[in-house]
Amino acid sequence: MGLAFDGFVTKASTVMAEVNALDAQIDRDDLEIHALILRMLALRQPVADDLRFLTTALRLVTDLERVGDEAVNIAERAGEPDGGGQDLVTDELAVMAGAARDMLQMALDALVRGDDEGADRVLGCDDDVDRRCASIIASITTYIAAHPAEARAGLRVIRVAKYLERIADHATNIAEEIIFMVRGDDVRHGRWQPSRSFTAEGSRPRLAASGSR
């Protein structure tokens, strides 16, 4: 993801080949992990925590594969015609990209450690990414209205913002799965709500509802 976004910002169309190669490797890993998990489910018949981990992993690899697809989408925009709209929102796009990348890294770290509080922090970051995406779209829409000739270039920036938002959404999905795996709470579809005491230092948020899948 970072490679693709850097290529977009620097207008380095040559990054496309490297991103495609990485995406192809991710696709191969996705297939291998799926096959391994299904084989373990069939042959070992895991129960309890082991079963919860394996079923969670099946969902996680799908989200990770889609992050690779979004990176390809961003890289594809690196060689397209530039416009003034991109300069208008470059800083905010960079902050948004950094936030999405941090969310993904935090989610993966939480997975390795089995850290549900780390996953909670990922969920707490998603609204900020959404707000930045909305702000970028509003700015570019206003710019296009004043500069109709740059509509195509402006739409390209909007697409990149949406791709970044989706990466953050995939990180959110991973965090939700980790929370279910560790403490059995289903926090999907808006059921996660931070309590007033929730802070970046890791205070546990309150759940709007919980249950099992």
Confirm whether 122 is domain-assigned. Answer: yes
Q: Which of 53-57, 68-72, 150-154 has the lowest mean pLDDT?
A: 53-57
Q: What is the pLDDT of residue 190?
A: 61
* pLDDT on residue 83: 73
Distances (CA, A) of 114 to 46, 51, 53, 110, 191: 18, 15, 10, 6, 21
Does a structural domain hold residue 145? Answer: yes
**CATH code where residue 152 lies:** 1.20.58.220
Look at the chain and report how many structural domains it folds into.
Answer: 1
The confidence band for 194, taking pLDDT boundaries of 50, 70 and 90, is: low
Residue 195 lies in a domain: no
In the predicted structure, residue 197 carries a pLDDT above the cut 50: no
pLDDT tens digits, residue range 64-112? 999 999 999 999 988 776 678 888 899 999 999 999 999 999 999 999 8
Structure tokens at 203: 């205070």
Residue 179's pLDDT is 87
Residue 143 lies in a domain: yes
Residue 127 clears pLDDT 60, i.e. is over it: yes
Asked if residue 197 belongs to a domain, the reply is no
Single-letter residue type at 151: A
For a pLDDT cut of 90, what percent of the chain falls above it?
Answer: 55
What is the average per-residue pLDDT within 30-40?
Answer: 93
Q: What is the pLDDT of residue 212?
A: 39
The two three-digit tokens of residue 16, written as one number = 């496309």
- Over pLDDT 70: what percentage of the chain? 86
Model confidence, pTM: 0.84
In a domain, 205, yes or no: no
CA distance 99 to 164: 9
* Residue-level pLDDT at 182: 84
pLDDT score, position 195: 42
Residue 134 belongs to domain spanning: 2-183
Mean per-residue pLDDT over the chain, rounded: 85
Supply the DSSP string of the chain, one letter for each residue: -HHHHHHHHHT-TTHHHHHHHHHHHHHHHHHHHHHHHHHHHHHH---HHHHHHHHHHHHHHHHHHHHHHHHHHHHHTTTSPP-HHHHHHHHHHHHHHHHHHHHHHHHHHHHHHT-HHHHHHHHHHHHHHHHHHHHHHHHHHHHHHH-GGGHHHHHHHHHHHHHHHHHHHHHHHHHHHHHHHHH----TTTTB---TT--TT-PPPPBS-----
What pLDDT was estimated at residue 79? 73
**Distance separating alpha carbons of residues 98 and 93, to the nearest angstrom:** 9
190 found inside a domain: no
- Give a yes or no: residue 47 inside a domain: yes
